[in-house]
Amino acid sequence: MKRLTWRNLGVILAGLAALAGCHRQSSGRVQGYVEGEYVYVASPFAGQLETLSVKRGDLVKSGDPLFALECGLETAARDEANRKLTQGRANLEDAKKGKRPPELESAEETLKQARAASIMSEKEYKRQDDLYHRGVSSAEDFDRARSTRDQDAHRVQQLEADLATAHLGSRDDQVAAAEANVRALEAALAQADWNLAQKRQSVPQNGLVYDLLYQQGEWVAAGKPVVALLPPGNVKVRAFVPEAKVGSIHPGQSVSVFVDGVGEPFAGKVTYISPQAEYTPPVIYSQESREKLVFMVESRFDSAIAAKLHPGQPVDVEFQSP
């Protein structure tokens, strides 16, 4: 009797399973699951995790702080670049200016002395010229007076040119070189600022803090993600549709997603249909083997609906008739 009872029970369970399968097939629903495309936030530089501003399960907004790594080296590099830029700009301004006022005053006084000497040598030349033509002075004295006059006149011309140059800045090529140096230093400062900013990461888009991959105080290698975010728009449902039915589905088609324990289905849209079968038997496509083929179909939802779905959650999907 016990053996008969267990046998009857097995038949009943098998019948119920068959009826459930028939009901599922007749309802037009297919199985699927919820999946999330995570955003992994990392710093391109290594360092100790100094500050962790979020915890798992937090809802964060774009721009909120996530974490910060120690940044002593980057801060020092930024300060050095800033000082070099200040020095470069000062050199550029100096190259554009003439000499300092005391230097200009000295050049002007030297020119005055040269002009006075030129006046005296001009008078001496005229006196020697008169004496020479009267036969009182020798030719040597006359030639000496003429040479001194000419030297003093050239000296005045030289000092006038030097004074005019002193009022000018550096040559154009020197100024251009100083300007190019300033631009290079500005770029170096921008790079240093960027490097320092990368030690602090903020939320790139609204979402859920899905996981923390490091804890405060741990050493984080360059490029290693610290926080995994799940934006609502990155939640999707993957369903597996039989080959016989996939031809009737198209992107943009409405879907209803049924979740265990939830009375009303969630509405979404088909966004992607896989061009390849998920399961291909190693035989020629007979009618029987084709029934084993399924194609992956993805659906996405509004942010408010996506927030109610959880990655890994099994669901049933029903495709609405167009």
Q: Is the pTM of this model over 0.85?
A: no
- Are 238 and 214 in the same domain? no
- Which residues are bridge partners to 225 per DSSP? 42
Calculate the alpha carbon distances from 201 to 10, 24, 154, 232, 278 in Å.
59, 47, 70, 20, 39
| Mean pLDDT rounded to a whole number for the chain | 83
Same domain, 65 and 135: no
Pair (186, 161) in one structural domain: yes
Q: Is residue 278 part of a domain?
A: yes
Sheet order of strands, 219-220 included: 200-202, 65-69, 47-52, 219-220
Average the pLDDT over each of 100-104, 160-164, 301-305 and give the range with the smallest value. Answer: 100-104
Statement: residue 101 has pLDDT above 80: no
Query: Contact, 216 vs 294, CB < 8 A?
Result: no
Neighbouring residues of 237: CB distance < 8 A, sequence distance ≥ 6: 32, 33, 34, 35, 255, 257, 268, 298, 299, 300, 301, 309, 315, 317
| Res 169: pLDDT | 56
In a domain, 268, yes or no: yes
At residue 295, the pLDDT reads: 87
User: Per-residue pLDDT for 52 more than 90?
Assistant: yes
Structure tokens at 21: 């399968």
Q: What is the mean pLDDT of residues 283-294?
A: 54
Answer for the pair 185, 50: CB distance below 8 angstroms, yes or no: no
- 43 φ/ψ angles, rounded to the nearest 5 degrees: -105, 140
Residue 270, domain member (yes or no):
yes
Are 133 and 172 in a shared domain?
A: yes
Q: Report pLDDT for 322.
A: 67
pLDDT at 109 over 90: no
For 298: left if phi > 0, alpha if psi spans -120 to 50, otherwise beta; the answer is beta
Q: How confident is the model at residue 291 (pLDDT cuts 50, 70, 90)?
A: low
pLDDT of residue 201: 96
Kindly report, residue by residue over 8-43, the tens digit of the pLDDT: 434 443 444 444 444 444 457 888 899 999 999 999
The CATH number given to whatever domain includes residue 45 is 2.40.50.100
d(CA 311, CA 199): 30
Q: Is the pLDDT confidence value at 284 over 80?
A: no
Does 1 have pLDDT greater than 90? no
Q: Which of 227, 301, 213, 193 is nearest to 64 (CA)?
A: 227
Q: Does residue 76 form part of some domain?
A: no
- Band of the pLDDT at 267, cuts 50, 70, 90? very high
Question: 47 and 57 in one domain?
Answer: yes
Instruction: Say what the pLDDT of residue 155 is.
Output: 85
Question: Distance (Å, rounded) from C-alpha 70 to C-alpha 213?
Answer: 17
Can you give the CATH number for the domain in which 257 is found? 2.40.30.170
User: What are 130-171's pLDDT values in tens digits?
Assistant: 887 888 778 888 888 888 888 888 888 888 877 776 666 556
Residue ending a domain, among 192, 213, 241, is 192
When pLDDT is cut at 50, 70 and 90, the band that residue 5 belongs to is very low
Give the residue numbers spanning the domain of 63: 40-70+198-230
On whether residue 134 sits in a domain, the answer given is yes
CA-based nearest residue to 253, from 237, 274, 267: 267
Q: Which residues contact 161 (CB under 8 A, 6 or more apart)?
A: none
Half-sphere exposure of residue 172: CA atoms within 13 angstroms, side-chain side: 0
The verdict on residue 259 lying in a domain is: yes
pLDDT score for 210: 94
Q: Say if residue 265 is in the same domain as residue 306.
A: yes
Residue 9 inside a domain? The answer is no
Residue 72 reports pLDDT greater than 90: yes
Query: How do residues 191-239 score in pLDDT, each as one tens digit?
Result: 999 999 999 999 999 999 999 999 999 999 999 999 999 999 899 999 9
At residue 87 the predicted structure's pLDDT band, cuts being 50, 70 and 90, is very high
- The confidence score (pLDDT) of residue 77 equals 95
Q: Does residue 17 belong to any structural domain of this protein?
A: no
Going across the sheet that includes 59-60, the strands are 39-42, 225-230, 207-212, 59-60
Number of structural domains (the chain) is 3
CA quadruple 112, 118, 123, 124: dihedral sign: positive
Of 209, 230, 251, the last residue of a domain is 230
- From first CA to last CA, the distance across the chain in angstroms is 55
Q: Return d(Cα 188, Cα 194) in angstroms, integer.
A: 10
What sign results for the dihedral spanned by CA atoms 24, 28, 31, 32? negative
Burial readout 67-96 (b: 16 or more C-beta within 10 A, e: otherwise): bbbbbeebeebbeebeebbeebbeebeebe
pLDDT score, position 121? 87
Q: Smallest Cα–Cα separation from 42: which of 232, 193, 234, 212?
A: 212
- DSSP state letter for 146: H
- Nearest to 319, CA basis, from 232, 242, 233, 235: 242
Q: Are residues 159 and 102 in the same domain?
A: yes
Chosen domain end from 165, 192, 219: 192
Continuous H helices in the chain: 2-27, 72-96, 101-133, 139-167, 172-197, 243-246, 287-290, 303-306
One domain for residues 222 and 238: no
